[in-house]
Structure 1
Amino acid sequence: MENAMKTLVIFTLTIYTVSAFGISNNTRQDSNTFLSIANIRSPFVCGMLCLQAVRCEAVNFRAANNTCFFLDQTSTSSMLSETGYVSSNISSWKPEVAGHCQTKPCDINSLCVPNTSSYNCITAAWAQ
């Protein structure tokens, strides 16, 4: 019974989290990828990183190799059904998730890195 309860809690949290962040399972947006980052733990971390980049409008996450793809445009007509991918438009995320970077204070070629009391802007890999 205890294992069944744990499974139910995990399942419920997963459903809540997926719907709260507008994440689509087994879909991928066929849009311009301007940055890919390997070894990202989850689609949620991928989305949180995207929130810190002004240029990032959406993400694709490939679970097989834990790769996060930043997209600089979104389009509902460009959604493809593809097993093993997760997609999300960042506009569906609550800005507060980005902490001190929620107002996107850095320029388009920077990443905002929040800290405990403020943020730092660093030049992004795609701008170098």
Structure 2
Amino acid sequence: MPMWSLCAQFCSRVKMCKSINFIGSNKTCQINYAEPGEYYGELVESLGNSFAATSTFPKELAGTCQGHDCKLNEVCMPNGTTYYCFPWTQPFAKRNFTQIFVACPGNQQSILTTWKNPSTGMNYDIENIKNPCTNMNNQHIRSTMIDKWGVLPIDQVKVELFKNGELTVQIYFDGHGSTNSDWFSKDRLRSNSFNDLTQSSITNLFSMDGHPNYGRHLFISKRSGGCNADYGWLVVIDISDATSRYCNFDRLPGKAYPYILYGADHHVARFNYDYEVDLADKMIISISMV
């Protein structure tokens, strides 16, 4: 389905949406709360668009959401032969990024297991929790939106690393048609703050599962050539499934698991050399929607 059709399909499932602008140059979907001839203040001005009003959409575009009874502040989400109503939050409506996961190092809880395990889901409004790792007893925070991944119109997934409270790394992935685990891959890489990481970069591992035997997850590895020649951009040294702590960077002295290592100075690094890597004190994963 063309991108503009996905934009129209999403609009057809939201009662507040009356028309759309689709900007082909950057694949942006703009939601309007009015049609031409109605209150113009609810129309978004933009150049180079494909414009369409909901009155022109074929009814079958909404799928199982056709004739839905969701509220004005909700989005209809197809679910098999039926549907459910999802809250239309302000970040969602503005197509901003919504935080769905916060990883807090040193709490002896597996980051990967917490991400994957629905039983640990919370309904907290993560973005409104100030200093989440401190105020939530250093526990990972997981939104139940992760479990609804397959029915959410996800556009991008963003990974952010922080050190001393400052944003240090950003990585953006294409979330279209992804699952809640395969979005973290080189094929889906859109952009990032590293100076030498692209889709054409040579990697030997780029996945959430990473290297389970060593407990290395969310692993972006360039080369594995023995401890002093293990190059990469990012790795979570986790606690859940490691059968070996082979290298020095797998067992940092006095450092409680899990911890997050990344290439300093926005370059690929040798993980075993502490002057080439930094330790993040928080990781946030967020999603944006079309």
In the superposition, the TM-score normalised over structure 1's length comes to 0.60
User: Contact 1:101/1:114 (CA < 8 Å) preserved in 2?
Assistant: yes
Partner of 1:35: none
1:6-17 → structure 2 map (5 Å cutoff): none
Partners of 2:6 and 2:65 in 1: CA distance: 15
Partner of 2:193: none
Task: Return the match for 1:86 from 41, 50, 66.
Answer: 50
Task: Return the match for 2:6 from 32, 45, 55.
Answer: 45
> Structure 1, unaligned stretches of length 5 or more?
1-40
Task: Return the match for 2:63 from 78, 81, 99.
Answer: 99
1:1-128 → structure 2 map (5 Å cutoff): 42-75=3-36, 84-126=48-90
User: Contact 1:96/1:102 (CA < 8 Å) preserved in 2?
Assistant: yes
Partners of 2:33 and 2:47 in 1: CA distance: 22
Partners of 1:54 and 1:104 in 2: CA distance: 9
Bigger radius of gyration: 2
Secondary structure at the aligned position of 2:48 is classed as strand
Q: Residues 47 and 73 (structure 1 numbering): CA distance in 2 closer, same or farther, change over 3 Å?
A: same
Secondary structure at the aligned position of 1:100 is classed as helix
Query: Runs of 4 or more off by more than 6 Å in structure 1?
Result: none
Partners of 2:27 and 2:89 in 1: CA distance: 19
Q: Taking CA–CA contacts closer than 8 Å with sequence separation of 6 or more, which of the two structures ends up with the larger relative contact order?
A: 1
Offset, 1:115: 1.7
**Structure with a larger share of its residues in helix:** 1
Partners of 1:104 and 1:120 in 2: CA distance: 9
**1:46 is aligned with what amino acid?**
C
Residues 13-69 of structure 1: CA deviation (Å, up to 9, x unaligned): xxxxxxxxxxxxxxxxxxxxxxxxxxxx61111000000101001000111111101
Offset, 1:125: 2.5
**2:67 is aligned with what amino acid?**
T
Identity %: 27
